[in-house]
């Protein structure tokens, strides 16, 4: 549990509350990443995001969730030692030199769903799923990372904040300001990621919070009380523009490479009504994963060799 | 606490170095299959904060020994420095009143202050789980830290504040300081040390949710045979008893559902024995409930399961024995009186500050001399 | 490797596709002028000349400087513009008819397969460039003799593969078409039913004698539900048949090179799931006023709140760790 076991070699990123270094675990020589939390920024003692990351990563042990190897204090800073993950899904999607196939997409979806299933099984909501937070290990495994916004599912009386998840991946109930949402918000995020993997551009890119609703409903239809009971009880519902939901044929035209089962899976992950939206179990058991092509073996997904 | 990074870090977890080898040998054989119990075995509470009585004793002894040798060193130095000026009376008093605390005395002080944590947290109207977490954090801190190294008084507000943050009941440190009549610095001073001593494990499984769960399951298993109003009444009593149980070592020795069942059993033994008998008694009962769940599995997955080891089944007798043990310990737990606590606290203070005890003695002597100056003069003559 | 090196003289006329260098017939005069080549020397001769010169038996190639003896039956139409390419392709065809192993014959050993391919390439190169021709031809012959049976088997297998592939392609096309038609049908039916339902409701309400309006509407809806099934049923049938159809399995062989992988059954959770829970959630049996009151509130319903999530959670917490015996598991 001490600083001397690890060496920080290169700074690779800086966020609002932490700086990430690449380094080595001295005893084994293996590569690791060190996330140094800037404690001086938070005036109320230890930062909430740091507490959340530490709290939840300590309990989660799964091949598709990032592994917290160690924690140590140094110079009044909290340092998290994490496994070294060279790239993430956002980089892969954006880099036009990297070519991937539907079988690769299926493999990534499978791993992401397995990881999130494990998180949900431990009664934790991730609340910030996006391609940027789906890191990829040198063996090709997807690792769900960044638990800075995560929290344990609260008791039924407690209220949650709806200001979570990066805008483009935010579920409609969050856009409406819901305070008692569930795991469904994570499933929506994965649905949007699925679409993005197939299109290779962001699927619902809103410019601000108001616009996000507009973009979402224009693409997937405005929800009504009929398919989403009590949605009209949300403030601001009456001001909404009513768009019709897309027909299956329209979706086929938009997602030309998608099979019927892929579209079914996506539709159910992007169901407007959070109560009927599929959970991770239903997603994993869907037809999409059973039909051909089979998901590529992660070790054989060729994204590292192709990079220029 | 660090662990070696392997090439496929799937099975790497954070553990204390002592528990490392023991943990490996105790891993359930079919580690990947997540039974309900395995889910608990993955938690930090199981891995880092579950002990046998011997474990606890050893650990506390270790902490105590370390602190005692430090105190003795300091005292030794103090005695050396003041050898020439000390009277025999003073030396004797110092040896009695300024000696380091024993392990048992430490525990008394810790338990006393844990109660204080509960009272203060309740006074601040914090939710039940936050109160429970505060107490848990507090007691765990003093498993590896001695009261002679850190005055428990100084940790009370810190643990409550950290518990609020950890349980998403966020209050700014300034408003907390105001309500608790403390200062920002006092609250934050030991926060890092607290988090470090907790080995960064902040997620607790308290017995409250199991309480809710068992109440639901009892309604299923004993459907129609139990009065729901009555259930509602004992529910609240049990809740309170759970909070009290957190002040004891029970939480280290048993798992949350075991504690919950023991507490309900203390309220109504018949109910629990009927419930458990029906639930885990006959083979048929368990088979039936297993068969009904999840008929929508892929055939292949079913086949795989049949080949692998079946998930753990509860042995009724074993469970009952555990519950009996737990109940027994609950009933035996003693609370600490204020007087006892004061005595120990005084000892704690003086052993760290022998000079102040000395001053007090001197002042006392002077005061008694002032009362009867005649007597004194007579003696001197 | 230009055409000129092979054909020797008569350069100017080789690229001229409209005149036979032997009989000097013009395409203008005979519009059906067709050229043939012989793999012995790849000299282009028009059909008429081939007929005239070689019908009576093998003869020397009429090109100046070429002394190869040609047979009529060896002449064929040139497929590629570049004669060099034509030559190489012919050589490859000949070699591959003998060396016709595929990766499946190497049990997945990539290294051995690659070595095999390299050896073939060397043979082709030698034959193409006239390097060690005798020895190389000898190699070819010996291999053929030693592996006669294997070669025959492979020929059979390769033929079959190609056949399967084209069949499954066709099949897929057909199925897609069928599905589309059925789906269109379903849409049609839905639309029709909606219209019919509206009219029917109005009719019944008009003719009903004071019956409950909601009942009438229910009744119509039920009839519609029964009607709807036919096209849907057909589609379900189709999907079911497709699942069991071997054509889809055959199509997969091209994708995965490792036969061993296909023997591992697909498990979505990778074995990471316990399906034997110690409890069952039966909401009808619960009297839980707190939670049951919440599920009626609008803001809860709209947020996606589900009571079964709450119950699952507390029940899981109640049973997780119940069987852990800490006094034994911690030494």
Domain assignments of chain C as residue spans, ordered by start: 1-78, 86-146, 168-259, 262-331
Interface contact A182-C305, CB threshold 8 A: yes
Question: What's residue B372's pLDDT?
Answer: 57
> What's the whole-number average pLDDT of chain B?
79
- Average pLDDT of A65-93? 90
Percentage, residues of chain C above pLDDT 90: 7
User: Does the pLDDT of residue C12 top 60, yes or no?
Assistant: no
Q: Which pLDDT score, from 0 to 100, does residue B18 have?
A: 34
φ and ψ at residue B289, rounded to 5 degrees: -70, -30
Q: For residue B301, what is the nearest residue in chain C, using CA coordinates?
A: C267
Residue B292's pLDDT is 40
Interface of C with B (CB under 8 A): 265-269, 271-280, 282, 285-288, 311, 313-327, 329-331
Please judge whether B7 and A25 are an interchain contact, meaning their C-beta atoms are less than 8 angstroms apart: no
Q: Give, to the nearest 10 degrees, the angle between helix C133-146 and helix C83-98.
A: 30
Per-residue pLDDT at B356 exceeds 80? yes
Least confident of B331-335, C69-73, C136-140: B331-335
Structure-model confidence comparison of residues C51 and B91, the more confident one: C51
Is the pLDDT assigned to residue A55 strictly greater than 60? yes
Q: Are A203 and A196 in contact (CB under 8 A)?
A: yes
- Flag if B298 and A285 touch (Cβ within 8 Å): yes
**Residues A214, A242: contact at Cβ < 8 Å?**
no
C248 touches chain A (CB under 8 A): yes
Residue C65's pLDDT band (cuts 50, 70, 90): confident
Q: Quick: pLDDT tens for C21-38.
A: 888 888 887 888 888 898
At residue C198, the pLDDT reads 85
**Residue B263: Cβ-neighbour burial (10 angstroms; 0-12, 13-18, 19+):** buried
Interface of C with A in 211-230 (CB under 8 A): none
Closest-approach residue (CA) in chain C for B19: C330
Listed range (B103-117, B199-213, B346-360) with the worst mean pLDDT: B346-360
Probe site for chain A from C187, C236, C242, C268 (most A CB atoms < 10 A)? C268
Q: Is the pLDDT of residue C8 over 50?
A: no
Could you tell me if A180 lies within 8 Å of chain C, comparing CB atoms?
yes
C300 at A interface, C-beta within 8 A: yes
Residue C81 backbone dihedrals phi, psi, to 5 degrees:
-60, -40
Closest to B173 (Cβ–Cβ): which among A5, A44, A78?
A: A44
Chain A neighbours among C 72-91 (CB < 8 Å)? none
Q: Has residue A196 got a pLDDT over 50?
A: yes
Confidence of residue A202 (pLDDT cuts 50, 70, 90): very high
Under the banding of pLDDT at 50, 70 and 90, the label for residue B3 is very low
Distances (CA, A) of B239 to B193, B235, C19: 31, 6, 106
Please answer yes or no on whether C326 and B50 come within 8 Å at the CB atom: yes
Q: Looking at residue B131, what DSSP letter applies?
A: H
pLDDT of residue A40: 66
Q: Of A62, A110, A181, which is closest to C304 when you measure between CB atoms?
A: A181
Point out the residue among A51, A58, A285 whose CB comes nearest to the CB of B14: A58
- Closest by CA to C235, choosing from C284, C280, C285, C182, is C182
Residues of C in contact with B292 (CB under 8 A): 280
Higher pLDDT among residues A187 and C6, named by residue: A187
Token pair recorded at residue B203: 């997620």
- Which residues of A participate in the annotated binding site for ATP? 12-20, 35
Q: Give the lowest-confidence range in A252-261, B51-60, B199-208, C257-266.
A: C257-266
Mean pLDDT of C161-169: 84
Q: What's the confidence (pLDDT) of residue B284?
A: 44
pLDDT at C303: 92
Give me chain C's average pLDDT, please: 78
Is the pLDDT at C81 greater than 90? The verdict is no
Query: Residue A204: its pLDDT value, please?
Result: 96
Looking at residue B379, its pLDDT comes to 47
The mean per-residue pLDDT over the stretch B133-147 comes to: 95
With beta carbons under 8 A apart, name residues in chain A contacting B1: 1, 70-71
Mutate to test the interface with A, among B4, B5, B186, B299 (most CBs of A within 10 A): B5
Q: Chain-wide mean pLDDT for chain A? A: 90
What confidence tens digit (pLDDT) does each residue in A130-143 have? 999 999 999 999 99
Residue B296 has pLDDT above 50, yes or no: no
Residue numbers in A near B196 (CB within 8 A): 73
CA angle at A237 for the pair A233 and A239, rounded to the nearest 5°: 150
Average pLDDT, stretch B303-319? 59
| Nearest in space to B342 (alpha carbons), one of B113, B171, B18 | B113
Q: Which of residues 168-197 of C touch A (CB under 8 A)?
A: 179, 183
With contacts defined as CB-CB under 8 Å, which chain B residues touch A30?
Answer: 5-7
Position A161 scores a pLDDT of 92
Q: Which chains touch A (3 or more CB pairs under 8 A)?
A: B, C
pLDDT of residue B340: 84
Q: Nearest CA to CA, how far is B230 from chain A (Å)?
A: 23
Q: What is the C-alpha to C-alpha distance for residues A167 and A229, in angstroms, rounded to an integer?
A: 24
- Inform me whether the pLDDT recorded for B75 exceeds 90: no
Q: What is the pLDDT of residue C244?
A: 59
Neighbours of chain C (3+ CB pairs under 8 A): A, B
* In the predicted structure, residue C52 carries a pLDDT above the cut 70: yes
- How many angstroms separate the CA of residue B12 from the nearest CA in chain A? 7
Of the ranges A75-79, A125-129, A236-240, which is most confident? A125-129
- Say if the Cβ atoms of B293 and C282 lie within 8 Å: no
pLDDT at C79 over 50: yes
Sort out which chain C residues have CB atoms less than 8 A from B256's CB and list them: 317, 321
C-alpha distance from residue B158 to each of A14, B103, B190, B349 (Å): 30, 24, 7, 20
Structure tokens at A62: 């799964």
Tens digits of residue pLDDT in B197-255: 999 999 999 999 999 999 999 988 888 788 888 888 899 999 999 999 999 999 999 99
Q: How many CB atoms lie within 10 A of CB C49?
A: 18
Q: Does the structure show a pLDDT above 50 at C249?
A: no
From chain A, pick out residues whose CB is under 8 angstroms from the CB of B180: none
Q: Does A117 touch chain C (CB under 8 A)?
A: yes
Give the pLDDT of residue C151.
82
With 70 as the cut, is the pLDDT of residue B137 above it? yes
Distance CA B340, CA B112 (A): 9
Q: What is the pLDDT of residue B381?
A: 42
Which pLDDT score, from 0 to 100, does residue A284 have?
A: 93
User: pLDDT > 70: what percent of chain C?
Assistant: 82
Cβ B158 vs Cβ B188: under 8 Å? yes
Q: Which of 3.30.40.10, 3.10.20.30, 1.10.30.50, 3.20.20.70 is the CATH number of C1-78?
A: 3.30.40.10
Cβ distance of B38 and C311 shorter than 8 Å: no
Average the pLDDT over C62-91 and give the result: 88
Binding residues of A: 12-20, 35
Give the best residue of C255, C300, C303 to mutate against chain A (max A CB count within 10 A).
C303
pLDDT above 90 for B194: yes
Mean pLDDT of the region B246-265: 94
In the predicted structure, residue A292 carries a pLDDT above the cut 50: yes
Q: Report the pLDDT value the prediction gives residue C100, as an integer from 0 to 100.
A: 83
Name every chain C residue with its beta carbon within 8 A of the beta carbon of A101: none
Chain A residues in contact with B165 by the CB 8 A cut-off are 44-46, 48, 51
Determine the Cα–Cα distance for residues C38 and A108; give it in Å rounded to an integer. Answer: 55
Mean pLDDT of A237-243: 90
Q: Which residues of A are catalytic?
A: 128
Which of the other chains make 3 or more beta carbon contacts under 8 angstroms with chain B?
A, C
The minimal CB distance from A58 to the residues B3, B161, B201 is found for B201
Q: What is the pLDDT of residue C331?
A: 64
The per-residue pLDDT for range A10-40, each reduced to its tens digit, is 888 887 778 889 999 988 888 999 998 877 6
When pLDDT is averaged across residues A147-158 and rounded to a whole number, the result is: 91
The predicted pLDDT at position B254 comes to: 94
* Confidence check: pLDDT of C211 > 80: no
Pick the closest to residue C242 from C178, C160, C165 (CA basis): C178
Nearest to B159 by CA among B183, B141, B175, B179: B141
Question: Smallest CA–CA separation between A188 and chain B, in Å?
Answer: 24
């Amino acid at each position: 549990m001490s600083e001397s076991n690890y060496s920080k070699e290169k700074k690779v990123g800086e966020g609002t509350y932490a700086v990430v270094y690449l380094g080595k675990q001295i005893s084994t020589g293996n590569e690791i990443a060190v996330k140094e939390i800037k404690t001086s920024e938070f005036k109320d003692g230890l930062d909430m995001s740091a507490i959340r990351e530490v709290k939840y990563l300590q309990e989660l042990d799964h091949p598709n969730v990032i592994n917290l190897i160690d924690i140590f204090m140094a110079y009044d800073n909290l340092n998290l030692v994490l496994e070294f993950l060279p790239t993430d899904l956002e980089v892969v999607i954006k880099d036009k030199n990297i070519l991937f196939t539907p079988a690769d997409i299926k493999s990534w979806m499978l791993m992401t769903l397995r990881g999130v299933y494990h998180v949900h099984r431990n009664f934790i909501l991730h609340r910030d799923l996006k391609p940027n937070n789906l890191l990829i290990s040198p063996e090709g495994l997807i690792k769900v990372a960044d638990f800075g916004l995560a929290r344990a599912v609260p008791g039924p009386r407690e209220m949650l904040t709806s200001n979570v998840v990066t805008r483009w991946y935010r579920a409609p109930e969050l856009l409406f300001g819901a305070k008692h949402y569930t795991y469904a918000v994570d499933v929506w995020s994965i649905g949007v990621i699925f679409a993005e993997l197939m299109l290779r551009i962001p699927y619902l890119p809103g410019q601000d919070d108001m616009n996000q609703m507009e973009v979402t409903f224009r693409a997937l239809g405005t929800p009504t009380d009929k398919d989403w009971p009590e949605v009209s009880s949300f403030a601001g519902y009456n001001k909404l523009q009513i768009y019709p939901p897309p027909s299956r044929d329209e979706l086929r035209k938009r997602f030309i490479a998608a099979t019927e089962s892929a579209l079914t899976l996506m539709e159910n992950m992007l169901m407007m009504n959070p109560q009927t939206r599929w959970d991770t179990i239903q997603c994993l058991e869907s037809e999409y994963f059973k039909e051909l092509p089979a998901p590529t073996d992660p070790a054989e997904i060729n994204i590292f060799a192709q990079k220029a | 606490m660090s662990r070696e990074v392997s090439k496929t870090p799937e099975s790497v977890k954070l553990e204390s170095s002592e528990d490392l080898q023991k943990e490996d040998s105790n891993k359930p054989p079919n580690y990947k299959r997540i039974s309900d119990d395995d889910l608990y075995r993955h938690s930090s509470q199981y891995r880092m904060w579950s002990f046998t009585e011997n474990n606890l004793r050893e650990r506390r002894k270790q902490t105590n020994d370390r602190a005692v040798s430090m105190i003795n060193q300091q005292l030794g130095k103090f005695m050396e420095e003041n050898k020439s000026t000390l009277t025999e009376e003073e030396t004797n008093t110092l040896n009695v009143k300024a000696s380091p605390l024993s392990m048992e005395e430490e525990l008394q002080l810790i338990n006393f202050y844990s109660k204080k944590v509960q009272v203060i947290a309740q006074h601040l109207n914090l939710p039940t789980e936050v109160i429970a977490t505060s107490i848990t954090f507090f007691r765990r801190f003093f498993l590896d830290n001695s009261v002679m190294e850190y005055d428990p008084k100084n940790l009370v507000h810190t643990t409550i504040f950290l518990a609020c943050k950890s349980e998403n009941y966020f209050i700014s440190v300034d408003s907390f300081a105001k309500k608790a009549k403390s200062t920002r610095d006092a609250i934050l001073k030991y926060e890092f040390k607290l988090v470090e001593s907790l080995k960064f494990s902040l997620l607790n499984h308290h017995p409250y949710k199991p309480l809710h769960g068992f109440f639901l399951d009892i309604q299923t298993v004993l459907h129609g045979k139990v009065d729901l109003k009555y259930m509602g009444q004992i529910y609240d009593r049990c809740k309170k008893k759970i909070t009290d149980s957190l002040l004891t070592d029970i939480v280290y020795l048993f798992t949350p559902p075991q504690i919950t069942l023991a507490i309900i059993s203390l309220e109504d033994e018949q109910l629990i024995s009927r419930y458990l008998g029906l639930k885990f008694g006959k083979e048929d009962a368990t088979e039936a409930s297993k068969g009904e769940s999840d008929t929508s599995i892929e055939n292949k997955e079913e086949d795989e399961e049949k080949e692998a080891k079946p998930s753990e089944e509860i042995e009724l007798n074993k469970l009952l024995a555990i519950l009996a043990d737990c109940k027994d310990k609950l009933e035996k737990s003693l609370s600490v009186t204020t007087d006892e606590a004061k005595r120990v606290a005084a000892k704690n203070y003086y052993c760290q500050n022998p000079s102040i005890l000395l001053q007090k003695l001197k002042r006392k002597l002077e005061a008694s001399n002032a009362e009867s100056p005649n007597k004194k003069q007579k003696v001197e003559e | 490797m230009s055409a000129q090196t092979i054909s020797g003289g008569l350069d100017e006329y080789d690229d001229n596709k409209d005149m036979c260098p032997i009989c000097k017939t013009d395409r203008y005069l005979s519009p059906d002028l067709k050229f043939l080549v012989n793999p012995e020397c790849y000299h282009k001769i028009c059909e008429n000349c081939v007929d005239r010169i070689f019908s009576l038996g093998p003869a020397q190639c009429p090109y100046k400087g070429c002394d190869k003896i040609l047979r009529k039956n060896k002449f064929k139409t040139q497929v590629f513009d570049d004669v060099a390419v034509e030559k190489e392709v012919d050589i490859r065809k000949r070699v591959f008819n003998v060396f016709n192993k595929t990766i499946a014959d190497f049990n997945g050993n990539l290294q051995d397969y690659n070595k095999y391919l390299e050896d073939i390439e060397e043979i082709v190169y030698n034959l193409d460039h006239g390097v060690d021709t005798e020895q190389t031809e000898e190699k070819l012959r010996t291999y053929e003799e030693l592996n006669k049976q294997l070669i025959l088997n492979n020929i059979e297998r390769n033929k079959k593969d190609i056949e399967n592939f084209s069949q499954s392609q066709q099949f897929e096309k057909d199925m897609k078409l069928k599905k589309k038609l059925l789906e269109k049908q379903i849409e049609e039916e839905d639309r029709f039913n909606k219209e019919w339902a509206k009219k029917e409701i109005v009719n019944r309400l008009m003719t009903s004698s004071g019956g409950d309006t909601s009942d009438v509407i229910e009744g119509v809806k039920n009839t519609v539900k029964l009607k709807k099934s036919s096209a849907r049923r057909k589609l379900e049938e189709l999907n079911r048949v497709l699942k069991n159809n071997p054509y889809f399995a055959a199509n997969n062989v091209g994708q995965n090179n490792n036969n061993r992988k296909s023997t591992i059954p697909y498990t979505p959770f990778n074995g990471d799931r316990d399906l034997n829970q110690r409890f069952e959630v039966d909401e009808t049996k619960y009297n839980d006023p707190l939670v049951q009151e919440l599920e009626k509130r609008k803001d809860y319903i709209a947020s996606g709140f589900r009571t079964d999530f709450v119950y699952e959670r507390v029940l899981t917490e109640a049973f997780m760790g119940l069987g852990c015996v800490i006094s034994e598991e911690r030494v």
